[in-house]
Amino acid sequence: MYFSNVVAALLLMSSASAFNSTSIVDEQKIVVAGDSWGTVLAGGSALGISYLERALRGHSCPSNVQNIAIPGTTATEWSDPDGNYLSTLVKAASGADHVWITLMGNDALEQMPSCARTGKSSSECGDQLYDDMVDKMGQIVDAVHEANKDAKVVGMGYEMMFGGAGCGVIAADLFPQCWIGEEKSDQSSIRCFNTQVLRMQGVWDELASTRDFLTSINLLGLTQAADGDEEALIGQPNLDKLGPHWAWPDYEGCIHPGILPHGDAKLSAAEMLMEEMYNQYWSEAYSC
């Protein structure tokens, strides 16, 4: 099961090549690699410019974005030393200033339901995913660094999602232990689920702790806070709730940020995420 299967039609539109700004002296090349989050947020839009590029332009950051993300792909596929994905990434990274990687969601969707069927607990399956992803993602980021010692790599875990109508079904399929059996009575199903999904943020944090070329940013809780949840802060999500319905709607397959304006700022969830990414990463790494 792929992380983007439920929104295949949308992804056909959103996976267009990213807009490349006119080459000027101060621009920096950004390579975006990974799964459908990369295509949705950095692969173009109805306005002909991606949410990533729009945020950069809003802060006067000239840039050249090369998007090689492929919807539905896994870290297992991108880490294969004999595969086309890694060779394409290494080639692109050789001339890049920044490499943004979005991966692991599809690995979770592929591995966790089958792990649950073996009788392992949610935490045991989460440990299995974490260990595998530290290994696979480590191989990917190290290959980028080997190709270009000057390139900066950035990554982040997926935000608190699945709040749209009917989206809980996907969450329950990912970690069914949290909704049935003994674990359901140990803690709330949503907290159980969120605790394991957040392990993907932990992978980025672990990798960044041993690699000075890698930055792990944390956007968790952003859309919850924007929804008025007083228990959520950016970087400190409310584990007892999923992401708000307007931010992770069913029309985006429950796992991609909404594109309709919300709140006083009149920003979509996609725009909010890219604005916060600017705050946490581009404003310093790009110095613009």
Number of domains in the chain: 1
pLDDT digits (tens, 9 = 90+) for 158-215: 999 999 999 989 999 999 999 987 676 555 899 999 999 999 999 999 999 999 999 9
* Sign, Cα dihedral of 180, 183, 189, 190: negative
Question: Rg of the chain over CA atoms, in angstroms?
Answer: 18
- CA-to-CA distance for 97 and 286, rounded, in angstroms? 9
Residue type at position 107: D
Domain of residue 218: give its range.
5-285
| 235 pLDDT above the threshold of 70 | yes
pLDDT of residue 9: 32
| 13 pLDDT above the threshold of 90 | no
Spell 206-243 as b/e; 16+ CB within 10 A means b.
bbbeeeebbbbbbbbbbbbbbbebeebebeebbbebbb
| 229 pLDDT above the threshold of 90 | yes
Tokens 């999602």 belong to residue: 161
Q: Is the pTM higher than 0.75?
A: yes
Residue type at position 140: I
pLDDT of residue 202: 98
By percentage, how much of the chain surpasses pLDDT 70? 88
pLDDT of residue 185: 56
pLDDT digits (tens, 9 = 90+) for 18-58: 333 333 336 899 999 999 999 999 986 555 689 999 999 99
pLDDT digits (tens, 9 = 90+) for 102-153: 999 999 999 999 999 999 999 999 999 999 999 999 999 999 999 999 999 9
- CA-to-CA distance for 87 and 197, rounded, in angstroms? 29
CATH of the domain at 118: 3.40.50.1110
Question: Are the C-beta atoms of residues 238 and 251 closer than 8 Å to each other?
Answer: no
Count other Cβ atoms within 10 Å, centred on residue 41. Answer: 27
pLDDT of residue 161: 95
pLDDT of residue 187: 58
Residues 6+ apart with CB under 8 A from 191: 239, 240
CA distances from 50 to 18, 20, 167, 255 (A): 6, 10, 26, 18
Identify which of 159, 110, 157 has the alpha carbon closest to the alpha carbon of residue 258: 159
